[in-house]
Amino acid sequence: MVCNKVRESGGEAVKMHCIIHQEALCAKTIQMDDVMTTVVKTRNLIRSRALNHREFLAFLSDIDAEYSDIIYHSNVQWLSHGSALQRFYSLRSEIDQFLKEKKSDT
């Protein structure tokens, strides 16, 4: 119906079947293993030890960061990779500062 309206007005509409499936195909073809490995290693360093995680949460709270924590992702749900990467990227300077304070070489 929308395509017909667009054609009537002289335009051309492109039909796409479920954009999420197309994103899934792109995610499978783009090899981001090196990026995800670094993100997962860094996130695990922060979240795997309770003391590190509590200190990180307090650090983010003290500096009034945009987010209050980093998030896990699930290998089963590929959409969560994007959420985890977006959150990690948003907190990249805070994570770097925190790891420098902890004298971590990650």
Q: Each residue of 41-100: pLDDT tens digit?
A: 888 888 888 999 999 999 999 999 888 888 776 555 555 677 788 888 999 999 999 999
Give the pLDDT of residue 20: 57
State whether the Cα torsion 85-90-21-32 is positive or negative.
negative
Number of domains present in the structure of the chain: 1
Q: Give me the domain span that covers residue 54.
A: 31-101
Inside any domain, residue 18: no
Q: How many CB atoms lie under 10 A from the CB of residue 46? A: 22
Q: Each residue of 29-46: pLDDT tens digit?
A: 677 777 878 888 888 888
Inside any domain, residue 80: yes
Would you place residue 28 in the very low, low, confident or very high pLDDT band (cuts 50, 70, 90)?
Answer: low
Inside any domain, residue 38: yes
Inside any domain, residue 26: no
Inside any domain, residue 79: yes
Inside any domain, residue 9: no
Q: Is the pTM of this model over 0.85?
A: no
> Which string of DSSP letters, residue by residue, matches 82-101?
HHHHHHHHHTHHHHHHHHHH
Inside any domain, residue 35: yes
Inside any domain, residue 16: no
